[in-house]
Amino acid sequence: MENARPQELAILVQDKLKKSKRITLIPELGVLNNLFECLFFTSMCKEESELIKVTVTFIDPANPDPHPPRRSVAERWSCISFDQRIPMTTKSLAKLSKAADPSCTSLAVYYDDHGLFIWGMIDQAMQYQNFLNYESENDSEQPGFFQVSIKDIGTLNILFDYELLATLNQNVLVQRYLDVLTIGPVAKILKRNSDFLKIKIREYLLETYPEQAFQEWEDFLDNLWIQTLSRLLLKIQNYQHGGALLIADESADIDIKYKIHYQRLIFAMIAYAKASIENHVLDRYITAQIHEGKRSISKSLYQKESAALLQKAGIADEITGAINFIASQTCVDGVVLFNRDMVSNGFGAVLRAKRMPRKIYVSATATATAKSLSAADPKDYGTRHRSMIAYCWNHPTALGLVISQDGEIRAFSKIEDKLIMWEKIKTQQYIKNKKL
């Protein structure tokens, strides 16, 4: 929906919350409207010369934890109350945002007859953010009714646990992002690109664990590949500099300013997959012996399982380091060039292809069906986008990804005789909630 305002966002969110099996008291439309308006206008403010980024949790101070677990984990959230409630205004929200880094905390807000107020802070948000950004395999329970995050100027994200309810991106209301990395033509390209990873793991299974069928691990490998790319895109987004990635088989029509040959990411992914398989196999073997009623289990078996788990954690850190290394290169003007095996061959690259299609086609779906395509003029886009359009038009096997300074991600690929562009691409780990 274009030309949308906080009012339209409030209507959409209230409608979705009414379908919740968990929330019994749905906030009135006026309350949601005031909440989103306050956050929307706060996003246009600055505090100490910096733009505002903050997350608020809509949570009742009279009953902040209505469904506590029987057994609480150490990293579970807690709510710390202020001595006095603070009226929620753009000024108070902007001031408190400096003490509430959204990567680790959120502000607790609610309402009464006098209006909205901020009544506390919630800790341990990094567990939530790590899972959302594929940095952790473990999800965590979320407090309150829902969370709202200021992502950029005029940009609000509303999340119910791990489900994205809606995004107001300045004047555009987005209800869902396109899952192009797992569905459709882009996903098919990426799955073909993961062949090197799959070949190495197939060889490893045959040599080390022949009883393990490769097909049982294929989805895991596809997910590892997609999640790694998603994490790279998210890291580039966080720089707010903009950037571009090109996955291509050839270097024709490309001038690479800084040539490198960085293989560490793909080799770390292979090592991570091997450690995951070893940890899984040993864990299953120990569990089977316990179920068989064996009175003792080899000490060395436990040691091997623990060593595999530690190795897996260490390699996960290596992957994070490799992702950060590559993402930082996008801060130099130009394109980061990958081959199909996720090996970085240089950065600061200039795309020299000149021949441009008369029109491109914007897809409203991940699958890019004929009905979902709408024509657009490539001249309506900036230099970075036009150079990627021209390259992908002249090199049909290439896949281009452009990240704008505002965080918008667009993918480009030539499908048959059309240059397709996908926008509003899903990169975070949004999960459909059964409670809605």
For the chain, give the mean pLDDT: 92
Q: What would the pLDDT profile of 255-274 be if each residue is shown by its tens digit?
A: 999 999 999 999 999 999 99
Q: Are strands 106-112 and 79-87 parallel, antiparallel or unpaired?
A: unpaired
Helix (H) or strand (E) holding 335, with range, is: strand 335-338
pLDDT at 233: 96
* Averaged pLDDT, 317-325: 97
| β-strand pairing of 55-58 with 106-112 | parallel
CA pair distance 151, 176, nearest whole angstrom: 16
Q: What is the pLDDT of residue 175?
A: 86
In a domain, 76, yes or no: yes
Q: What are the helix (H) ranges across 72-141? A: 90-97, 125-132
SS3 state at 413: strand
Q: Which residue's structure tokens are 């009012």?
A: 7
Instruction: Provide φ and ψ at 171, rounded to 5°.
Output: -115, 15
Residue 283 has pLDDT above 80, yes or no: yes
Distance of alpha carbon 241 from alpha carbon 50, whole angstroms: 15
Find the mean pLDDT for residues 310-314: 95
pLDDT value for 138: 83
Asked if the structure places residue 326 within a domain, the reply is: no
pLDDT at 207 over 90: yes
**Which run of H or of E encompasses 344?**
strand 344-351
What is the number of structural domains in the chain? 2
pLDDT at 298 over 90: no
Distance CA 250, CA 228 (A): 22
Q: Are residues 40 and 143 in the same domain?
A: yes
CA atoms within 13 A on the CB side of 338: 27
What's the confidence (pLDDT) of residue 148?
A: 97
In a domain? residue 25: yes
Check residue 256 and give left, alpha or beta (phi > 0: left; psi -120 to 50: alpha): beta
The pLDDT of residue 18 is: 87
CATH number where 215 lies: 3.40.1700.10
Residue 191 and residue 108 share a domain: no
**Domain end residue (candidates: 121, 147, 174):** 174
Q: Do 348 and 227 fall into the same domain? A: yes
Same-domain status, 239 and 374: yes
Instruction: Give the tokens for residue 266.
Output: 């793909």
User: What are the structure tokens assigned to 289, written together?
Assistant: 């012996």
Quick one: 138 and 214 in the same domain?
Answer: no
State the average pLDDT over residues 171-197: 92
**Rounded Cα–Cα distance for residues 75 and 141 (Å):** 10
- Phi and psi at residue 365, to the nearest 5°: -135, 160
Average confidence (pLDDT) over 420-431? 92
* pTM of the model as a whole: 0.90
Tell me how crowded residue 422 is: count the other CB atoms within 10 A of its CB. Answer: 23
Q: What distance lies between CA 143 and its chain's CA centroid?
A: 20
Last residue of a domain, one of 174, 194, 214: 174
Token digits for 61? 């101070």
Q: Among residues 126, 142, 174, which one ends one of the domains?
A: 174
Domain hosting residue 18, numbered range: 6-174
Q: What is the pLDDT of residue 301?
A: 84
Q: Does residue 28 belong to any structural domain of this protein?
A: yes
According to DSSP, the β-strands at 172-174 and 163-169 are antiparallel
Tokens of 342: 């996720």
Query: For residue 423, what are the β-bridge partners?
Result: 410
Q: Residue 158: its pLDDT value, please?
A: 95
- Is 269 a member of any domain? no
Residue 360 in 3-state DSSP?
strand
| Bridge pairing between strands 55-58 and 79-87 | unpaired
Q: Is residue 364 part of a domain?
A: yes
Q: Which amino acid is at 429?
A: Q
235 and 163 assigned to the same domain: no
pLDDT for residue 374: 96
Which of the pair, 388 or 170, is modelled with greater confidence?
388
Do 110 and 255 belong to one domain? no
Q: Are residues 64 and 206 in the same domain?
A: no
User: Do both 92 and 236 map to the same domain?
Assistant: no
Check whether residue 164 and residue 242 sit in a common domain: no
Is the same domain home to 156 and 221? no
* Cα separation, 391 vs 385, whole angstroms: 10
Confidence band for 9, pLDDT divided at 50, 70 and 90: very high
Average pLDDT value for residue range 102-128: 95
Quick: pLDDT tens for 25-54.
Answer: 889 999 999 999 999 999 999 888 888 999
CB atoms within 10 A of CB 363: 23
User: Is there a single domain that holds both residue 87 and residue 119?
Assistant: yes
Q: What is the arithmetic mean of pLDDT over 167-177?
A: 89
CA neighbor of 350 nearest in space, from 436, 233, 261, 258: 258
Q: Are 253 and 181 in contact (CB under 8 A)?
A: no
Residue 92 lies in a domain: yes
Note the pLDDT tens digit of each residue in 351-369.
999 899 999 999 999 999 9
DSSP 361-385: EEESSTT--GGGEEEE-GGGS-HHH
